Amino acid sequence: MKSAKELMQEGQAALKQRTYYTAFPESPKAYTEGSTEESQDSFARLLNQDFSEFKSEGAQAWVGTEVSPYLMTGLGIRYPQFSTETLISRAETAQMGWRSSSPDQRAEVLTDCLYRIQKRFFDLAVSTMHTTGQGYMMSFQASGPHANDRAMEAMSMAYQELTRFESEVQFVKPMGKFDLTLRKTFKPIPRGLGLVIGCSTFPTWNTVPGLFANLMCGNASIIKPHPKSILPIAQVVGEMQKAFEAAGFDPYTVQLAVDTLEQPVTKELAEHPSIKLIDYTGGSHFGEYIESLPGKSVFTEKAGVNGVILESVNQPAAVFGNISFAASLYSGQMCTAPQNIFVPAAGIQTAEGSLTFDQVVSGIAEAISGLANNPKMGPFTLGAIQNEATAKRVQSLSGAVLAASSVENPEFADARTLSPAVVAVDAADTATWKQECFGPALFVIRCKDREEALALAAQSAAELGAITSQCYSTDESFCEQVADAMNAAFAPVSFNFTGAAFVNQHAAFSDFHVTGGNPSGNATFADANYVNRRFVWVGNRYA
């Protein structure tokens, strides 16, 4: 295993170069410790038990309401619940020791955290499956190596900024007959306690960047997971508390605050005056409330309505296949999944001849049906629907060319599954498409021409937010127009993706996840601003 110093050097180099880099390979074959079978057995032993992997002294209750989207039964796992004052008091006590540590000490402890989490990758895969509905391979990658990479990315950026300036200098100013000499010290001072609010679909991937950024900058942190997706991040917290304790720091530097949908505690925590930093992933309405809180430094990833401009292509089958996979992956329950496909009313030109608008719609629908009905691919690509409300919303869509339908999972007969619906709609019918429809749904929008398609896609990104966008065009000049217009709305564009490249994928150390410039969120994984707002530079002068 590489040392913390080596990881920080590699991480900073990768951040600058923006090429492919990973410290944690995404293939399960790269890891000899653990196995799927062992983790399935471990998961079974956790069911209907009190969770005991992190400290539970002083718990006021034991709660847990998670339901497996595959088994469609409650997990029965109960977690220790603490009062807000207990959480805050312990965090403030832990903060006193952690804020005094150096960046190098923090990097050592957090690197140990990453390696301890690595040993649990197979456990995290199973627990993520049964709380989110992700397929096994996505669960392994997203909650394991990809999450660790994002955590390390935030650490590397924070380490870079924390060590940007000299910690001590001799200041000499010539004054004519004498020199003014002062000793100056410069310290990055942590802003205070952090709160990280998790989401139900990616309980670790979306949580660890803010958590590790906070900790690297010296801020003790409380994680408030979604009540329906606690287990994966609870396992992470358990390993982190062990790492802090082994290094001689207070294990309560990292804590988990669990609640239920019926008795939420998020607002109580967020509004507490001791909480200075808030990271949030979730719906826009609550995200706007978080952003409105005074006296807080807030980092949000909210909802986005991601668009695809389909203007001209070489191989329509490859394009339709790529779009269908991107829309079907985890049943569209990804913040990067496409939703709206803008197509000229006259159709599109291809290397195989022209296609009418209706043929484009049919091509996309057929590609989705083909994937969903492929027994070796469909069930494992789609995964399961995390929330029943998502399924009901998609099933209630009217006018679908292809209706959402259940897909049999050979491993889990009771799994809540749904293939994407495809709805053809006129551009003027904004009540149908100009809003987020989270989950497996695609709206193919008939536009006057390619100019209107671009204008609507850019307007949607600016008004509703977009984390990703996509364009298919063989016209280089039009691609430049698309890049200019979408980038002006602070949305990145993926051009002409086919094969193994999908719009959903964002690579740590290379792709900025969320730009922070449109309503989909105000922060970016991970630029300098993502970490610099978590501490303050203070200089002292000595005569």
State how far the Cα of 461 lies from the Cα of 303, in Å rounded to an integer.
Answer: 11
Q: Tokens 């203007």: give the residue.
A: 311
Residue-level pLDDT at 342: 98
Other CB atoms within 10 Å distance of the CB of residue 436:
17
pLDDT value of residue 389: 95
Task: State percent of the chain over pLDDT 70.
Answer: 100
Residue 303 has pLDDT above 90, yes or no: no
Domain residue limits, the chain? 13-49+80-303+524-542, 307-495
Amino acid at 380: F
- In this prediction, residue 105 carries a pLDDT of 98
Q: Which residue is listed with tokens 């989270």?
A: 438
Q: What is the pLDDT of residue 495?
A: 98
Task: Using alpha carbons, list the distances in angstroms from residue 108 to 7, 98, 101, 279, 496.
Answer: 10, 13, 11, 23, 42
Is residue 129 over pLDDT 90? yes
Tell me the per-residue pLDDT of 139-179, one tens digit each, with 9 for 90 and over.
999 999 999 999 999 999 999 999 999 999 999 999 999 99
Q: Which CATH superfamily is domain 13-49+80-303+524-542 in?
A: Aldehyde Dehydrogenase; Chain A, domain 1 (3.40.605.10)
Q: What is the pLDDT of residue 412?
A: 97
Same fold, 13-49+80-303+524-542 and 307-495: no
Task: Establish whether the linkage from the previous residue to 526 is cis, with ω within 30° of 0.
Answer: yes
Please tell me the distance from the alpha carbon of residue 254 to that of residue 319, in angstroms, as a whole number.
Answer: 45
* The domain defined by 307-495 carries CATH number 3.40.309.10: yes
Per residue in 10-52, pLDDT (tens digit) is: 999 999 999 999 999 999 999 998 999 999 999 999 999 999 9
How many Cβ atoms sit within 10 Å of the Cβ of residue 9?
14
* Mean predicted confidence (pLDDT) in 505-534: 96
Say what the pLDDT of residue 528 is: 97
| pLDDT score for 438 | 94
**Per-position b or e across 226-247, b if 16+ CB within 10 A of its CB:** bbbbbbbbbbbbbbbbbbbeeb
Segment 312-332 shows an average pLDDT of: 97
Confidence of residue 76 (pLDDT cuts 50, 70, 90): very high
pLDDT at 304 over 90: no
CA angle, residues 274, 276, 282, in degrees to nearest 5: 115
Average pLDDT, the chain: 97
Cα separation values, 47 from 51, 75, 76, 215, Å: 9, 5, 6, 31
